Amino acid sequence: GKKLGYTFNNRNLHNVSLGQGQEVVAEQALDLAAKEGHWVILQNIHLVAKWLSSLEKKLEQHGEGSHQDFRVFISAEPAPSPDSHIIPQGILENSIKITNEAPTGMHANLHKALDNFSQDTLEMCTRENEFKSILFALCYFHAVVAERRKFGPQGWNRPYPFNTGDLTISVNVLYNYLEASSKVPYDDLRYLFGEIMYGGHITDDWDRRLCKTYLEEFIKPEMLEGELLLAPGFPLPGNMDYNGYHQQYIDDALPPESPYLYGLHPNAEIGFLTQTSEKLFRIMLEMQPRDTSMGEGGAVTREETVKALLEEMLEKLMDEFNIAELMAKVEERTPYVVVAFQECERMNVLTGEIKRSLKELDLGLKGELTMTSDMENLQNALFLDTVPESWIKRAYPSTASLGTWFADLLARIKELEAWTGDFSLPSTVWLAGFFNPQSFLTAIMQSTARKNEWPLDKMTLQCDVTKKNREDFASPPREGAYVHGLFMEGARWDAQTGIITDARLKELTPAMPVIFIKAIPADKQDTRSVYPCPLYKTRQRGPTYVWTFNLKTRENPSKWVLAGVALLLQI
C-alpha cells in the first residue's frame, strides 16, 4: 500500500499539507498514527474550513483508546479578523496552543533578519566587502519596513505582508548580480528590491515612494566609503564575521528603540500610543452591560439619554437646501457654482437620512413602531457616541466621535449656506468642509483655464503658504483661492522662513497658515527644493488622498518622505 509517513527522529511522522483534496490522506494518516503511535502534522488547516468539523470528530474519536505516543500537530495562518476565526472550539480547548509572534522593536527585528543567514552566507561571494555591506543594509531595511507598521497610517498607508522570503530572495539576487558584474549595479539592485521583491506587495503609490526612498538612503556608493548612517548614531558596520554583526555590532552599537531609527519624529510614537489607548477605551465602553437602567435613585436611563440626544439633534438640523430655488438665482453656472450645487445635493442626502432615521427611532422608543435591528444599532451608536453606519455611508470620511462629528456637520452646513447666499467665493475657503475637496481644486483649474484659454490637461496647481491667518483676509484673490483649515503631520511649517521644519515635541498636528492656491501651466512649475506633500482628508490617510502640494524645503525631501509628512484636512 501507499506509505503515508517517513521516519523522523526515530519516530514515524506523517506530514500532510492540506488543500487540493488532501483531506482523505489526512484522515488515513490519523487512523494509522493513532493505532501505531506515530506523529501527524497537519499544515494549513485554514484552507479547509468545511473539513474542520470532520477533523474535530476524528480527533475526539481517537482521544480514547489510541496509542500513548500518538500526537497531532496542527498549523494555521492567523485570521485577519475575529469574524474569520474558523477553528472549532473543541479543537482549541483540547490542544496546547503555540503562537509565533513577530518580533517587536528594531533590536529584535534586526537580529531576526540576520538569523536567516550564517557565516557561510557571508563568505559565499567573491566580492566579500560589497556583499556584506549590502546584505547588512538589506537586513536593516527589512527590519525597518516590517516594524514601521506599528506607527499606523503614518508608517504605511496600508499594512503589507513583508516576510523573510522577501529578504532571502533579495540576498540571492544580490549574490548573482555581484558575481556577474564588475561594478556594483546600485540602480538595478534598488529597482529589483524596491519594485519587485518588496514592491510586489505594495499597492499605494505613496508607500512605493517610501520604500524606494529607504533603498536610496541605505544602498548607495557611499556605503563602501564608511560614510553611511542607517539611522542617527548608527553607521553601517565595517567588515565583520557573523557573530560580530550579532553581538558586537547590533547589541553594542544600535541606539535605544525610538522613532528616529525609522526616520520618524518622536511625535509618531505619541500619536500611535494615543490612538491605541483610545481604541482600548472604546472597546471597554462597548463591553459595558446594555441594561436599561444606569443606576439607582432616579438615574437617567439609557433610553432617556438617547431620546434627549435625538431631540437635540433634530432641533439643531436646518432645513434641506432648495436646489431649484438656488438654481433660479444663478446667472452663470461657473465651475465654483457647479461645485456648490453638488455639495448641497450631497448634504441634502445626508441630512435627509439623519432626520428619517432619528424620527423612526423616536417612534420606536415611544412604542409606536416595532424596534428593528437598524433602530437598535442607531440607538447603540447614539449612546456610545459613535457615528451610525447609515450616516457614515452617506457622509465624508471622518474619525471623530458623534458629538464632534455632528458639530462639524453643522459648521459645514453653515459654510454652505453662506456660500450659496450670493454664490460669491468666500474670502478664504474651508477646504475640509467639502464632501469632495478635489472638485473644488479642479474648479480652480477650470476657472483659470477658461479665463486664459489654456488647455486643462496641461495645467497644475501651485501652492503658496502665506504668513497670515483666516481673519486677515477680507476678499478672495483675483485668480485661484485662499484655503484655510489644513494641518501638518510629521513636521511643521515655519511661517517666518517659509519652509518645512522639524515638529515640536507633543505638537502632533500643528495648524497651517492660509494657503494661496492658483492654477499655472505645468511647464512653469518650480520643482527645485520642494517636497511633494500628499494631502489627505483624515489621519487614516490611504483612500482619503485628495491632492499633492509642493512645499518648500531646505533639507533633502527624502527626510520628509521617511518622516511620513502629510497635510490633513481633519484631525
| Model confidence pLDDT, tens digit, residues 246-263 | 888 898 889 999 999 999
| Model confidence pLDDT, tens digit, residues 514-565 | 999 999 998 888 888 999 999 999 999 999 999 999 999 999 999 999 999 9
| Model confidence pLDDT, tens digit, residues 297-353 | 445 678 888 899 999 999 998 888 988 888 888 888 889 999 999 999 999 999 999
CA distance 19 to 56: 17
- Helix 373-384 to helix 302-316 angle, to the nearest 10 degrees? 90
Of 163, 147, 154, 145, the residue nearest 104 (C-alpha): 147
User: What was the pLDDT predicted at 504?
Assistant: 94
| Model confidence pLDDT, tens digit, residues 174-188 | 999 999 988 999 999
Report CA-CA distances (Å) from 63 to 56, 58, 98: 10, 9, 20
Q: Which domains does the chain have, with CATH numbers?
A: 2-94 (3.40.50.300), 106-266 (1.10.8.720), 301-424 (1.20.1270.280), 432-570 (3.10.490.20)
The structure's pTM equals: 0.82
Of 188, 262, 194, 184, the residue nearest 225 (C-alpha): 184
User: What was the pLDDT predicted at 63?
Assistant: 82
495: region left, alpha or beta (phi > 0 left; psi from -120 to 50 alpha): alpha
DSSP character for 548? Answer: E
Task: Provide the CA 310 distance to its chain's centre, in angstroms.
Answer: 33
Measured distance between the N- and C-terminal CA atoms of the chain, rounded to whole angstroms: 67
CA distance 312 to 293: 21
| Sheet architecture: strand order including 71-74 | 6-8, 11-17, 39-43, 71-74
